[in-house]
Amino acid sequence: MYLKTKAIIIKIRDFSENDLIVDLFTFSSGKITAIAKGAKSAKSKVSGVSNLFFYGEFELYIGKKWNRINSIEVINSFYYIREDIEKLSYGSYFLELIETSIVEKKSEKELFVLLLKTLDNLKNKNYLFLKVLFQFKLLTNLGYKPRLYNCSKCGEEVSNNIGFSVYHGGVVCEKCNDNDSLNISLKLLSIFQYFEQNEFSQIINIEINSLFIKKMDIILYKYLTYYLDKSDFKSLKFLNIFKEE
Ligand SMILES: [Zn+2]
């Protein structure tokens, strides 16, 4: 069977001297792993697959045991991400998160569009803002949207002295706010609510104080590692080295 679909390359590994194995995030069918025969040769018609982030129109042969990439046509190679070590690190983190979140042959069209918009915005330098926004929209899309209006433990309305409970899945009221909750101000909560109510393209254009962004990142990262049950992101270890320099 042949499949023609738009796809983004999210992981590449060696298969043999000339061939690569590539994980694709396809628009039509979610994750597909395929062999790219001869991909290491510059002359090969599938040589583009040796580049992470490559976005194109793929023709795939779907076999019983193995899938194969027959041909590709570039739409956007996202070359600027690979040329800058910081962009590359953030971009790799986004791909790692996507890889954790999608499964074989299950279409995730909204996530696909989210990833494309995010990679596109790596052109700019608001990396941490982009990371926060990507994490939030990814979690929402996967059904892990945090509760941001009523207490996620008792359901009461929240007013002052609120907290954020990863375990209960969102904001907690003064009564339920205990040592396990994270600090969150009403102002910060209102930014989270803004993120929930608005589209990616609208949010990315507003200005948010970098301190708020840092706090949001801390909360979201704890939330995400808990619900996605993953914390050993290789790309993040690299980003943390950066920050220390
Ligand atoms: Zn409560």
Q: Which ranges of 39-84 would DSSP assign to H, the alpha helix?
A: 79-82
Question: Which residue from 75, 94, 79, 74 is spatially nearest to 11, judged by alpha carbons?
Answer: 94
Q: How far is CA 133 from CA 145, 147, 154, 184, 194, in A?
A: 13, 16, 28, 17, 11
CA of 162 from ligand 1 middle (Å) equals 9
Helix 127-141 / helix 186-197 crossing angle, nearest 10 deg: 70
Per residue in 80-130, pLDDT (tens digit) is 999 999 999 999 999 999 999 998 888 999 999 999 999 999 999 899 999
CA of 155 from ligand 1 middle (Å) equals 6
CA of 195 from ligand 1 middle (Å) equals 23
CA of 40 from ligand 1 middle (Å) equals 57
Per residue in 160-219, pLDDT (tens digit) is 999 999 999 999 999 999 999 999 999 999 999 999 999 999 999 999 999 999 999 999
Question: Which residue from 135, 123, 142 is spatially nearest to 93, judged by alpha carbons?
Answer: 135
Write down the CATH superfamily of domain 2-77.
Answer: Nucleic acid-binding proteins (2.40.50.140)
Question: What span, in angstroms and rounded, lies between the C-alpha atoms of 13 and 66?
Answer: 15
The more confidently predicted of residues 50 and 226 is 226
- Please classify residue 86 by burial: count the beta carbons closer than 10 Å to its beta carbon, then call 0-12 exposed, 13-18 middle and 19+ buried: middle
Domain 81-244 adopts which CATH fold? de novo design (two linked rop proteins) (1.20.1440)
Question: What span, in angstroms and rounded, lies between the C-alpha atoms of 84 and 97?
Answer: 20
Domain ranges in the chain are: 2-77, 81-244
